[in-house]
Structure 1
Amino acid sequence: MTSRIVVTGGAIIRDDHGRILLQRRSDYGDWGLPGGGMEPGERIEETMIREVKEETGLDVISYELASIYTGERMKYTYPDGNEVVFVMFLFNVRVNLDGKLAEDGRTLYFEDENKESLQLTFEVWMKSRSI
């Protein structure tokens, strides 16, 4: 089976405590960063901004390119058998969280239209993890 290349824009969103917003995705149940695939005609920055809004309800205030990942470690096989190789552009992103968090101070209340996010929570990123 041939792999497709999928260009994605993702967001590293930190709260005031330095924790990173993680999204538990409905398509494969894993935790990751908010983001998704580029649509025809979009700039990668537009992709990231659109995906952040769709998946978290948050508006991007500012951003800067943090890193670009691809290669063997970015290969993924979906449950339906489709194989992809991601080219992932990650951005450090600032958003306004005023009034958006639950009482626990770490859960983001938002139900996205497409039900892509099962859960959104700010977590301490372990040094042993890699994005």
Structure 2
Amino acid sequence: MKIIVTGGAIIRDDNGRILLQRRSDYGNWGLPGGGMDPGESIEETMIREVKEETGLEVEQYELYTVYSGSRMKYTYPDGNEVVFVMFIFNARANLDGKIADDHKTVIYNDKNQESLKLEFKLLEDII
């Protein structure tokens, strides 16, 4: 079993909604973020992953929490088993010109196709 260190971001819009990403690797909704590359700080990981997956530039951030332990075990569809250590940041990004006419979808052409959809959702609609 492999340990994967990840950095993710809670990005809110002006209405307090949280940006969620529908991931292409397993189809679930989650926070934008991903795995650390060798030599990166966890902050650099989060900033890079947010940019790659959403096109957004992180302007400010602070560490919110770290998730680890047995509850973070995951088995990918291909059978690979991993344990995540997730560093989650509260982050602010510049959203000017990035939101579609529906006022909830982030406009981004994801060349790596990691994001099927990027949408701001109310916390009560997530839980």
Shorter-chain-normalised TM-score: which range? over 0.9
Distance 1:98 1:128, change over 3 A: closer
Contact 1:111/1:117 (CA < 8 Å) preserved in 2? no
Describe the superposition over 1:1-46 as per-residue Cα deviations: whole angstroms up to 9, x where unpaired: xx21000000000000000000000000000000000000000000
Aligned residue for 1:97?
95
From 6, 9, 16, the equivalent of 1:8 is 6
Q: 2:126 and 2:103 mapped to 1: Cα distance?
A: 24
Match of 1:126, SS state, is helix
Q: 1:17 and 1:61 mapped to 2: Cα distance?
A: 18
Q: CA RMSD in A?
A: 1.2
Letter in 1 for 2:71: R
Q: 2:17 and 2:126 mapped to 1: Cα distance?
A: 15
Q: 1:111 and 1:127 mapped to 2: Cα distance?
A: 25
TM-score by length of 1: 0.94
TM-score by length of 2: 0.97
Match of 2:123, SS state, is coil
Aligned pairs, how many? 127
Runs of 4+ aligned structure 1 residues displaced above 4 Å come to none
Q: 1:126 and 1:17 mapped to 2: Cα distance?
A: 13
Aligned residue for 1:28?
26
Q: 2:90 and 2:52 mapped to 1: Cα distance?
A: 18
Aligned residue for 2:80?
82
Letter in 2 for 1:56: T
Structure 1 residue runs without a partner (length 5+): none
Q: 2:126 and 2:58 mapped to 1: Cα distance?
A: 28
Aligned residue runs from structure 1 range 1-131, under 5 A: 3-126=1-124, 129=127
Q: 1:109 and 1:88 mapped to 2: Cα distance?
A: 26
